[in-house]
Amino acid sequence: MRLVCFGDSNTYGYDPRSFFGGRYPGRWTDLLAAETGWEVVNLGQNGREIPVGAGNLAGLLRQDDLLVVMLGSNDLLCHPRFTAGDTAARMEGFLKTLPPCRVLLVAPPPMVTGDWVTEERLLSESAALAGEYESLARRLGFGFADAGQWGVELAFDGVHFTEDGHRAFARGLQEAILCSLG
């Protein structure tokens, strides 16, 4: 099986302790590949928001791929008036531009108070994102997983996974994928 993982810095594996954009050596995509033997393509990018269209992603996808999409945190962080509903609407627009493939929409773990997260709005809207994404996935006929249920530890900034968080995310995602495959 080939997983194409499209996300932000938490998919990229960004280590917030690094000043130069360094990555954790044991990021969830690598851990998942090692544990399962699946081909895991990491298309994480620091700072990525939900794009308007599929763009270059469309040319990389094969019909039998499982596309794992986890985005939305940067949309909430960078747009002070954005709600979870606004973020889900943006996600819907993006998902509708994808070529035919299997999709697993993953709600990121809700943010916690930290160096980057000091507003109550970010805490509440990031917590509400899972419900919005679950409804969206159901409407579009896609799979859904809530990473907020996996015990993913977040770093001092309130946004990025810790090393333990990457391990928990890999375990949770593996279980979600195996359950979705029946």
pLDDT digits (tens, 9 = 90+) for 106-165: 999 999 999 999 999 999 999 999 999 999 999 999 999 999 999 999 999 999 999 999
- pLDDT cut 90: percent of the chain above it: 95
H/E stretch holding 124 reads helix 120-140
Instruction: Take residue 182 and report the two structure tokens written for it.
Output: 């029946």
Q: What is the reported pLDDT for 182?
A: 66
Cβ-Cβ contacts under 8 Å for 118 (sequence gap 6 or more): none
In degrees and rounded to multiples of 5, residue 176 shows phi and psi of -65, -40
The number of beta carbons lying within 10 Å of the beta carbon of residue 61 is: 21
Rg (CA), the chain: 15
The Cα–Cα gap between 147 and 27 comes to: 15
Query: Which of 69, 68, 67, 65 lies closest to 50, judged by CA?
Result: 69
Q: What is the reported pLDDT for 87?
A: 98
The pTM score is: 0.97
Per residue in 15-34, pLDDT tens? 999 888 799 999 999 999 99
The Cα–Cα gap between 135 and 143 comes to: 11
CATH class of the region 2-181: alpha beta
The Cα–Cα gap between 150 and 55 comes to: 31
- First CA to last CA distance, the chain: 14
